Amino acid sequence: MTTTELDLTIEIRSENGSRTQFYQDDRESISKIFRLLIKPRLFTRPFLMLASELSVSAIPSRTIDIVLVRTALTLPLPLPPGWLEIVEVGVEKFHSGVASHAADDAGGEDLLAEETTSFVEIHTSGGSKIVLKLQTTFQATVQDRRQRLADFFDLPVIPFHLETGGIGFINPAKISRVTVYPAFKGVAETALPVDFLRCI
C-alpha cells in the first residue's frame, strides 16, 4: 500500500517584485492554514503573520500582490456572489478559449445567458500576471456588467484555483490592470475604442 504525503508551499509575491516561500507538511498545521487563508478579509488585516518553531515573519498586507498556496489537496473557494468558478489557465487554454468564444459570438444574436464564461488577465503592481477563467451568472443590464468588471477592484480578495493544484488570492488594491475577453456586450460601446498591439 502506498501513501501520498500531503504538504503545501505558500508563495507570497510582493509589490516590489520579490517572492518569498514558506513550506508546511504537518497535517494539523495545514488545516489551520486553510481555515485562516480562506477568510474573505485576508488582505484587510495590517499584517500577514507566518510562524514556525524557530521564527515569526510579519509581512504588511498593503505590500502583498498575490498569495499562492500550492498543494495536492482540493480546497473550496470563498467565491463572491454570482461567481460560480474561477481557475488559473495557461496561455494555450487562454488562446483556444478566447478563439472559441469569438467564433460562438460571430454573427449571433445578442442573447444573454444565465451563466457566462470569461477569460480575465490580471496584472499587479509588482509585475505579476495571472490569467483566469471565470464562470459567473450575469444580470440583464449593461450597468450590471460594468459593475462586475469594477468588482475586481472593489472586492476584499480575489480567490482562484491554481492550474497545477491549490488556491491563490489576489490583493485587489495591487491590481494595475484587468482585461476581460471577450468584451462584455454593451460595455465596450462606452469605452475608448482601441486595438491591442500586444497580447499574451
Q: pLDDT per residue over 67-115, tens digit each?
A: 999 998 877 788 888 888 999 998 666 656 565 655 455 444 444 446 7
pLDDT of residue 188: 58
Contact (Cβ atoms closer than 8 angstroms) between residue 38 and residue 76: yes
Q: Which residue has the higher pLDDT, 20 or 196?
A: 20
Q: What pLDDT score does 73 carry?
A: 82
What is the average per-residue pLDDT within 163-183? 89
pLDDT in tens, 47-68: 999 888 888 999 999 999 999 9
* Comma-separated ranges of CATH 2.30.30 domains in the chain: 8-71
**pTM for the whole structure:** 0.80
Q: Tell me, rounded to whole angstroms, the distance of Cα 22 from its chain centroid.
A: 20
Nearest to 72 by CA among 166, 149, 172: 166
pLDDT of residue 160: 95
Q: What backbone phi and psi angles, to 5 degrees, belong to 127? A: 95, 5
| Domain topology for 8-71 | SH3 type barrels. (2.30.30)
